[in-house]
Amino acid sequence: MGRGGRMRSKSGIGLGCLLAAGALALAAGCGSGGNETTTAASTTDWANSVCGAISTWETSLKSVGSQFQNGQNLSEDGLKQAGNDVEDATQTLADDLKNVGKPPTPSADQAKAALDQLGSEASSSVDQIKSAIDDVSSISDLPAAISSITAAFTKLSSDVSSTVSQLKALDPQGEYKQAFSQAQSCQMLSSGS
């Protein structure tokens, strides 16, 4: 049972880092500005799609994490199922980010390329998670699998922060910041709802 607490804690650290970095940076860090209403509304829709993808992923991961509260479900099969759920959620995030499309801004191609890269990096994290799950053949393999899955989350957190920095650099007039601050999904992500 002690391992269950450690697993939850390690997973929570990786998840917490990712969510804190992604949600706060997306909501607060992308610049400010004011273009025409149509472009602003469309850019807000784009930001809503980005944050919606992250929010859906966050909700899925919280659901997986709740399976292990108080050492519940701590078994090889439980970890494999949770890992598969995390893998599915992260692959959905990667696909959603790749499908967001371009924002209606002058730097649209660069912004889309940054999101596509983040989607690819999320796919790479899925591969790492899948490999960690596949390597579990007994309860003694759980600590190594947990460590590998946590490392995948930590890297993805760094990837989110890097993508946000790229978006900041693309947006000196602050259109992205305004869009992210107005998008309902981003507001919910920032507030932790």
Divide the 193 residues of the chain into consecutive groups of 10 and give the mean pLDDT of each group: 37 35 35 42 85 87 73 70 83 86 86 88 85 84 83 82 79 81 82 60
Rg, the chain, Cα only: 18
pLDDT of residue 22: 40
How many C-beta atoms lie closer than 10 Å to residue 179's C-beta?
A: 31
Count of structural domains, the chain: 1
| Residues 25, 162: Cα–Cα separation, whole Å | 10
Q: Residues near 81 by Cβ (< 8 Å), separated by ≥ 6?
A: 67, 73
Give yes or no for a contact between 26 and 180, defined as CB atoms under 8 angstroms apart.
yes
Main-chain phi, psi angles of 18, to 5 degrees:
-60, -50
Q: What is the pLDDT of residue 134?
A: 84
C-alpha 104/C-alpha 192 separation (Å) is 28
* Residue 120, helix vs strand vs coil: helix
- Residue span of the structural domain in which 116 resides: 2-191
**pTM for the whole structure:** 0.67
The pLDDT assigned to 3 comes to: 38
Question: Could you tell me which of 129, 120, 114, 96 has the C-alpha nearest to residue 162?
Answer: 114
The DSSP output letter for 39 is H
